[in-house]
Every structure is written in C-alpha cells, then in structure tokens.
C-alpha cells in the first residue's frame, strides 16, 4: 500500500515537472515568435531624429504591417547599418521605389521633379551629399533622411545609400520611455 502511494506521489511529481517544463518551453517559443515576427524594443542612440525622437528614447518596432503592404513615405523605420554588426539606424522614408530624389543647393527636396511638401526637417539641408545628383531608386529601394537633417547619417551618405526593402526591420510604432513622452509615433 505504501509503495503504491509513493508511486502515485512520484508520478504526480513527474507530471507536475513535465507540465512546468512544457509550459516554460511554450512561453519561450511564443516569446521568440513575438520578438522575431511581431515586434521588438530598440533604443535611439544619437540626435539624428530630433525633434521627433531623442537620444535615449526607447521604442517599440512593429514588424507585421510590412508583410501586408509596402512601407509608405514618412514612415519611421529601423534598418541595420551594413558596415557594423548589431548597429541599427532609425530614419524617415522620403523616397519610394521607382522614384527619383534630388536635393538642390538651397536644401529643397524634389521627388520626381516635384518639391516634396513635408514638415519633418526643421532646417534647410546644408549638404545634399549624393542627392546633389538625381538618384533613381530601384524597385525595392527607399531613400531615408533623419529629421535633424544637418546632423544625420542617412541615404545622402554613400556608406548608407538606398535602403533595400529586405533590410527594413520594421516600423517605429510607439515611444515607451521616457514615460513623460510616451506616445504612438506616426
């Protein structure tokens, strides 16, 4: 009788142990899926997106919407810097696939020969970089700029250049830190 009771207790203990292990693996798997396919947190390092985003801001990036539609003009995206591992840039999309981008000597941005009406850059662009010559974007390429136009490494720099769609990690969804500035980013 006691042996039977011990076996039931051992069986119950093993059942509980395997149940906890199963749920732990399930939680880790769901967490992995969320991080890799739904969203993730990132932190802004630098002032290239001032005044929209500031150094130290913590952001949530959503990764789902671009599976259903193409990135849009003025979306703020995150992409890897291809010349340094584990370094990501946060910039605003200005030029879309198939368009031409040109920035004149006065800092005016032209898309397909038309002046771009936008209110994100607060200053005239002093250095158009490679956009001083018309840039034709490929079928999967985007031209990005930081909102702090004169303090930003972006598509004007040949080290960054045009951003390929496959390299876009996701779209900035909201700022979660600092709490006083917490809001959805559009």
For the segment 51-71, what is each residue's pLDDT rounded down to a tens digit? 999 999 999 999 999 989 999
Could you tell me which residues come within 8 angstroms of residue 155 by beta carbon, excluding any fewer than 6 positions away? 91, 94, 95, 101, 130, 131, 135, 142, 143, 144, 145, 161, 162, 163
pTM equals 0.81
Mean of pLDDT over the chain: 89
pLDDT value of position 158: 93
Are 119 and 144 members of one domain?
yes
Are 92 and 156 members of one domain?
yes
pLDDT of residue 182 exceeding 90, the answer is no
Could you tell me which residues come within 8 angstroms of residue 166 by beta carbon, excluding any fewer than 6 positions away? 140
The C-alpha atoms of residue 145 and residue 74 are separated, in whole angstroms, by 9
Are 78 and 33 members of one domain?
no
C-alpha to C-alpha distances, 175 to 2, 43, 70, 167, nearest whole angstrom = 60, 9, 22, 22
Positions annotated as catalytic residues are 48, 91
Overall domain count for the chain: 2
The C-alpha atoms of residue 126 and residue 103 are separated, in whole angstroms, by 10
Residue labelled with tokens 């769609």: 165
Q: Which residue has the higher pLDDT, 118 or 136?
A: 136
Are 159 and 109 members of one domain?
yes
Are 98 and 144 members of one domain?
yes
Please say whether the beta carbons of 81 and 144 come within 8 A: no
Are 88 and 152 members of one domain?
yes
Are 99 and 20 members of one domain?
no
Are 11 and 75 members of one domain?
no
- Which CATH number belongs to the domain containing residue 128 in this structure? 2.10.109.10
pLDDT value of position 78: 95
Domain that holds residue 26: 1-40
Are 36 and 57 members of one domain?
no
Please say whether the beta carbons of 76 and 57 come within 8 A: no
Would you state the structure tokens that stand for residue 139, as one six-digit string?
């079928």
Are 22 and 110 members of one domain?
no
- Assign 156 to helix, strand or coil: coil
The C-alpha atoms of residue 92 and residue 78 are separated, in whole angstroms, by 9
How many residues would you count in the chain?
A: 186
User: End-to-end distance of the chain based on CA atoms, in angstroms?
Assistant: 69
Question: In what order do the strands lie in the sheet containing 109-111?
Answer: 114-115, 109-111, 100-103, 135-136
pLDDT in tens, 3-44: 666 666 666 777 788 888 888 888 887 777 666 667 788 889
Are 49 and 30 members of one domain?
no
């Amino acid at each position: 009788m006691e042996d039977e009771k011990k076996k039931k207790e051992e069986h119950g203990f093993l059942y509980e142990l395997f149940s906890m292990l199963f749920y732990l693996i399930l939680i880790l798997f769901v967490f992995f899926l969320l991080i890799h396919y739904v969203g993730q947190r990132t932190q802004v390092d630098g002032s290239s997106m001032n005044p929209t985003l500031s150094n130290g801001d913590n952001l949530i990036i959503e990764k789902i919407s671009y599976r259903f539609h193409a990135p849009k003009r003025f979306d703020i995206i995150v992409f890897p810097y291809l010349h340094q591992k584990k370094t990501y840039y946060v910039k605003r999309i200005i030029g879309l696939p198939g368009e031409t981008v040109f920035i004149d000597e006065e800092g005016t941005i032209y898309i397909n020969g038309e002046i771009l009406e936008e209110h994100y850059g607060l200053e005239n662009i002093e250095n158009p970089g490679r956009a001083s010559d018309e840039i034709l974007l490929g079928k999967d390429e985007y031209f990005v700029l930081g909102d702090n136009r004169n303090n930003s490494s972006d598509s004007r720099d040949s080290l960054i250049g045009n951003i390929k769609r496959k390299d876009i990690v996701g779209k900035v969804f909201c700022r979660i830190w600092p709490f006083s500035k917490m809001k959805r980013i559009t």
